[in-house]
């Protein structure tokens, strides 16, 4: 059917700042080459080369955001795990640092967390120079091979020089394994009210809480989750933190738990619970299963420790992949990126607590040049003139009106389509009949590496009268934040050619696009 386009008016304002190609010459030419590869994100964190998975040990100290991560420096597939390391002054621009933790006789260094021991409870530093403590899982491959159940234990290490060099505790492990095969991913917090350290970690189908006065001696407190939440796979990488409900004095605790497989769109995903925590046990406020992100590619995400009180934000980053295909995605010299950093907030909607994810405000610094369009009504398809916007490295913000009185009727489905010269299409849209939001990557590009990759990913969503989308596209990923982060969806994509066209589509009815703004995003690797 020939498409009909009703344009009320289009005013294009193009203010594209010149794209400075001034590269900082201090970066080695190898890094520069690596960062120009196909599919290499330009404003997301990636390791310079080789394999990366979970973010680890995120902690803020003396003006630096630390990002450690599961890293295997000898291959682009998973292997003996190290902690890679990078620092940033703004969570946006990263400096790669040498590997922080290497495997040792106790095993590989699996996921975990880091804290600043301000009171020097460990005795590893002083109150003048508090130690940075990493708490991680030892995974002993020999024990695993021998068929024991005790090959995962928790160990600690400390740094007295802002995470640059590390000493492992001489009596590791601090928490031996009682005979549970999956026994890993400790997240440690300081619990003010009880004056104790709390460790939460994953043990198969539950999380376990332990407490300690000094990060060395740990006492079991409680289990949580055996009969709650999703259980389609093993639980991994928990996190727990308090959050005040927006616009109220009420405070609740949020427990994040990653699960693999068993996510809402298959494979890996992260669920959350909202409830109360007294330093020993967690009591959920509801029995519902909630997901922090409905896309297929936001896993093992946790939050930064020790963010100063005068900032007060709860800051999150996730691994932008999925164990279904992470080791097979078509990148050559490195594998995987992190999501953009997100601020988590808690709202109460219809008496239900809801975690929302918002790109950190610092992200806006990368915006360069802008195109905006005036309102238009679309029926069928409307091509959007994108001027000098490089869609593969952009932020796209669009607001749709849903319940516009219209003699033509309201569309069953509408959204945005990005496409390339060989007809590959990525669709991001809302299905009003199903009341579901979606990212459709089934025809978005390469998928030969996994039969589970090409798919349309749905998220249940009750749109109100308007729907606001913020879409972040970066070489091989798309992150969508709906209505100020009430819904987040993150997917990776591998088009054979860059998406250069953008369309708004509206199926079986009309859709009004109220506002739109599109930006180029600057590279963070300068
Ligand atoms: C999650 C995970 C963790 C583990 C790490 C190993 O992706 O499986 O449970 O500590 O990766 O690299």
Long-range contacts (CB closer than 8 Å, 24 or more residues apart) made by 344-348: 344/243, 344/254, 344/292, 344/303, 344/314, 344/315, 344/316, 345/243, 345/246, 345/314, 345/485, 346/243, 346/244, 346/245, 346/246, 346/252, 346/254, 346/274, 347/245, 347/246, 347/486, 348/245, 348/248, 348/250
At residue 32 the predicted structure's pLDDT band, cuts being 50, 70 and 90, is low
Q: What is the pLDDT of residue 34?
A: 61
d(CA 30, CA 457): 37
Q: Give distance in angstroms: CA of 346 to centre of ligand 1.
A: 27
268 CA: nearest ligand 1 atom: 7
Q: What is the pLDDT of residue 455?
A: 98
Q: What is the pLDDT of residue 2?
A: 33
Catalytic one among 54, 293, 440, 474? 54
At residue 36 the predicted structure's pLDDT band, cuts being 50, 70 and 90, is confident
Cβ-proximal residues to 360 (8 Å cutoff; 6+ apart), any chain: 91, 92, 313, 315, 340, 341, 342, 343
Q: What is the pLDDT of residue 303?
A: 99
Q: Is residue 173 pLDDT above 60, yes or no?
A: yes
Mean residue pLDDT across the chain: 92
At residue 9 the predicted structure's pLDDT band, cuts being 50, 70 and 90, is very low
Q: Is residue 358 pLDDT above 50, yes or no?
A: yes
Mutate to test the pocket of ligand 1, among 50, 101, 110 (most ligand atoms within 8 A of CB): 110
Convert the pLDDT of each residue in 247-286 to its tens digit: 888 999 999 999 999 999 999 999 999 999 999 999 999 9
Tokens of 446: 């390469």
Q: Which residues line ligand 1 (CB under 6 A)?
A: 53-54, 70, 81, 110-111, 137, 184-185, 236-237, 300
DSSP bridge pairs for 101:
83
- Quick check: 304 and 343 in contact, CB under 8 A? no
At residue 45 the predicted structure's pLDDT band, cuts being 50, 70 and 90, is very high
d(CA 341, CA 474): 14
Q: What is the pLDDT of residue 247?
A: 85
Q: Is residue 63 pLDDT above 90, yes or no?
A: yes
In whole angstroms, how large is the CA radius of gyration of the chain?
23
State mean pLDDT over 143-167: 98
Q: What is the pLDDT of residue 376?
A: 92
State mean pLDDT over 466-478: 98
State mean pLDDT over 365-383: 93
- Quick check: 212 and 182 in contact, CB under 8 A? no
Q: Which residue has the tokens 């859709």?
A: 511
Q: Give distance in angstroms: CA of 257 to centre of ligand 1.
A: 12
State mean pLDDT over 402-410: 66
d(CA 258, CA 269): 6
299 CA: nearest ligand 1 atom: 7
Long-range contacts (CB closer than 8 Å, 24 or more residues apart) made by 433-442: 434/458, 435/460, 435/461, 435/462, 435/463, 436/460, 436/461, 437/294, 437/461, 437/463, 437/480, 437/482, 437/487, 437/489, 439/295, 439/478, 439/480, 439/489, 439/491, 441/491, 441/493
Q: What is the pLDDT of residue 460?
A: 98
Tokens of 86: 């990078």
Mutate to test the pocket of ligand 1, among 108, 201, 236 (most ligand atoms within 8 A of CB): 236
**pLDDT higher at 324 or 405:** 324
d(CA 184, CA 365): 37
Q: pTM for the full model? A: 0.93
Q: What is the pLDDT of residue 419?
A: 98
Q: Which of helix, strand or coil describes residue 375?
A: coil
């Amino acid at each position: 059917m020939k498409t009909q386009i009703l344009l009320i008016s289009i005013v294009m304002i193009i203010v594209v700042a010149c794209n400075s190609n001034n590269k900082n010459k201090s970066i080695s030419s190898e890094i520069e080459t690596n960062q120009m590869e196909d599919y290499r994100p330009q404003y997301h964190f990636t390791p310079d080369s080789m394999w990366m998975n979970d973010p680890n040990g995120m902690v803020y100290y003396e003006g630096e955001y630390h990002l450690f991560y599961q890293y295997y420096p000898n291959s682009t597939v998973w292997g003996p795990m190290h902690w890679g390391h990078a620092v940033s002054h703004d969570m946006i621009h990263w400096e790669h640092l040498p590997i922080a933790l290497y495997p040792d006789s106790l095993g590989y260094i699996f996921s975990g967390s880091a804290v600043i021991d301000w009171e020097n409870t460990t005795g590893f530093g002083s109150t003048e120079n508090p130690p940075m403590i990493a708490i991680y899982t030892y995974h002993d491959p020999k024990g695993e091979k021998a068929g024991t159940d005790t090959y995962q234990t928790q160990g600690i290490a400390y740094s007295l020089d802002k995470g640059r060099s590390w000493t492992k505790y001489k009596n590791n492990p601090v928490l031996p394994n009682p005979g549970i095969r999956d026994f890993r991913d400790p997240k440690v917090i300081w619990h003010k009210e009880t004056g104790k350290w709390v460790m939460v970690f994953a043990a198969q189908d539950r999380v376990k809480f332990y407490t300690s006065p000094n990060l060395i001696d740990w006492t079991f407190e409680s289990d949580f989750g055996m009969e709650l939440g999703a259980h389609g796979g093993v639980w991994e990488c928990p996190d727990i933190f308090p959050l005040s409900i927006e616009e109220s004095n009420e405070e609740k605790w949020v427990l994040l738990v990653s699960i693999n497989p068993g996510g809402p769109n298959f494979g890996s995903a992260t669920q959350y619970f909202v409830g109360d925590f007294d330093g020993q046990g967690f009591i959920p406020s509801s029995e519902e299963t909630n997901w922090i992100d409905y896309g297929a590619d936001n896993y093992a995400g946790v939050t930064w420790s020790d963010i100063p009180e005068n900032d007060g934000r709860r800051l999150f980053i996730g691994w932008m992949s999925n164990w279904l295909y992470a080791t097979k995605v078509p990148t050559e010299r490195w594998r995987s990126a992190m999501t953009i950093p997100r601020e988590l907030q808690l709202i109460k909607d219809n008496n239900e607590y809801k975690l929302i994810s918002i790109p950190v405000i610092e992200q806006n610094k990368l915006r360069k040049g802008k195109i905006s369009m005036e309102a238009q009504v679309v029926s069928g398809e409307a091509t959007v003139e994108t001027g000098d916007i490089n869609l593969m490295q952009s932020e796209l913000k669009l607001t749709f009106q849903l319940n516009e009185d219209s003699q033509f009727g309201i569309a069953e489905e509408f959204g945005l389509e990005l496409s390339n010269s060989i007809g590959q299409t990525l669709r991001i849209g809302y299905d009003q009949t199903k009341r579901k939001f979606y990212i459709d990557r089934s025809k978005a590009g390469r998928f030969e590496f996994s039969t589970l990759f090409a798919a349309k990913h749905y998220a249940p969503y009750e749109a109100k009268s308007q729907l606001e989308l913020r879409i972040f596209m970066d070489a091989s990923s798309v992150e969508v934040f709906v209505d100020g982060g009430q819904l987040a969806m993150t997917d990776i994509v591998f088009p054979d050619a860059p998406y250069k066209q953008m369309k708004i589509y509206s199926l079986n009815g009309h859709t009004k696009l109220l506002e739109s703004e599109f930006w180029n995003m600057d590279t963070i690797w300068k």
